[in-house]
Amino acid sequence: MADRFFPNEMPDFVAEAPLEESSSSKRPEISLPKLLSIPSKALFDILKSSAIDLKERVVRETWGLRGKRVQDYTVYTGALGTAYLAFKAYQVTKNADDLKLCSEIVMACDSASRESSRVTFLCGRAGVCALGAVAAKHAGDESLLDYYLKQFKEIKLSSDLPNELLYGRIGFLWASSFLNNHIGNNTISNTRMRTVVDEIIKAGKKLAKKGRCPLMYEWHGKKYWGAAHGLAGIMHVLMDMELKPDEVEDVKGTLRYMIKNRFPSGNYPSSEGSESDRLVHWCHGAPGVALTLVKAAEVFGDEGFLQAAKDAGAVVWRRGLLKRVGICHGISGNTYVFLALYRLTGNEEYLYRAKAFACFLHDRALNFISEGRMHGGDRPYSLFEGVGGMAYLFLDMIEPSKARFPAYEL
């Protein structure tokens, strides 16, 4: 088990201390123990400049050096992830070049995905159309906005679609919420979204039958619990929907079933009945569940969900310094658990923990990857598996209370 993550030897909490004059001129070389105590403002400046360098590198590797041609168009591992990162950089720096770059990449992804039958934000056509529409809105291009919205509305959901986030119905609903959030309420109508919610609830009840958990889902024959393919991701997005009272109870009941059946360590199984307490990822394990529990505590104001979210956060602190950098199953994604807990509780300890994970990445990740002590990933510059995610996290660290797990937290 220990080889999946670095033992977390960082102190549980370090108070901020003024930066010594001598070190301030050489900020990039500040060591990890010192980084943990420097004032937030100074740290965020360091992370911002690191984020911008990383973003440039990601753009060069995934776009420029590939002749601006798109093979993998997805947010998850492909060109659209770079566009999403460019959009984030635009939101933070207001540099219009980043918005232009985002639109240019989305346009290439639009051509590359026209025949695709995938429907989600993270791995499908909905991501292209939704991000395209939002970028067009920011650029003030009404006709392009209309074009992407029309394309989005033409997406067809087949009857045999799974329900999970990466390829299934809930991933389409997330894209719809993203549009309603950024463009305006009812951009995608409640009626359209309700049809999909009905199918998801129906499928969940059917598989749960009279089991102990009110809703259950399957992906490739397995009843997953995590955010990417299972219950945590589905419940997370359902909480953004207008649910009927009995559906709300089903969501709460499903989350309580998961809490009751977690491992003694506090971690969560990757699938129903699994006894392997191994993965502490957003995709499988405590981090993804923690984000859903934070949301449940926000939405339902329930003390039990709040406590369970804190417990899952403690697992991430102990076992979450993974030997990968990315968002899906890497340190960057795990850092968002502390940012979400900080947003929920206002407790500075969680902000410190987010800073500590980000400092660890800043101080060590690139060296560790080149030394082979961390995996660079199959798609080393992608948003969800590579350093694209690290750049995104560093940009989010600048305003921690506004940070949101990319393509997942609204």
Binding residues for Zn(2+): 283, 328-329
- The residue type found at 372 is G
119 vs 174: CA distance, rounded Å:
11
Residue 195: how many other CB atoms lie within 10 Å: 12
- The residue type found at 58 is V
DSSP state of 12: S
Min CB(314)–Zn ion separation in Å? 21
> Nearer to Zn ion by C-beta: 328 or 354?
328
User: What is the signed CA dihedral for 122, 127, 130, 135, rounded to 10 degrees?
Assistant: 90
Binding residues: 283, 328-329
Q: Which residue of the chain is nearest Zn ion when measured via CB?
A: 283
275 vs 338: CA distance, rounded Å:
26
Using alpha carbons, select from 329, 401, 391, 333 the residue that is nearest to residue 86.
391
Q: What are phi and psi of 176, to 5 degrees?
A: -65, -45
Q: Across 136-240, where does the E strand assignment appear?
A: none
> Nearer to Zn ion by C-beta: 85 or 283?
283
Min CB(384)–Zn ion separation in Å? 7
Instruction: Write out the residues near Zn ion by the rule CB under 5 A.
Output: 281, 283, 328-329
Min CB(268)–Zn ion separation in Å? 14
Min CB(288)–Zn ion separation in Å? 9
Min CB(385)–Zn ion separation in Å? 8
Chain-centroid distance of CA 105 in Å reads 20
> Nearer to Zn ion by C-beta: 201 or 227?
227
> Nearer to Zn ion by C-beta: 137 or 281?
281
DSSP state of 20: P
Using alpha carbons, select from 355, 350, 347, 358 the residue that is nearest to residue 312.
350
> Nearer to Zn ion by C-beta: 149 or 331?
331
Residue 215: how many other CB atoms lie within 10 Å: 25
Min CB(355)–Zn ion separation in Å? 23
> Nearer to Zn ion by C-beta: 281 or 379?
281
93 vs 345: CA distance, rounded Å:
28
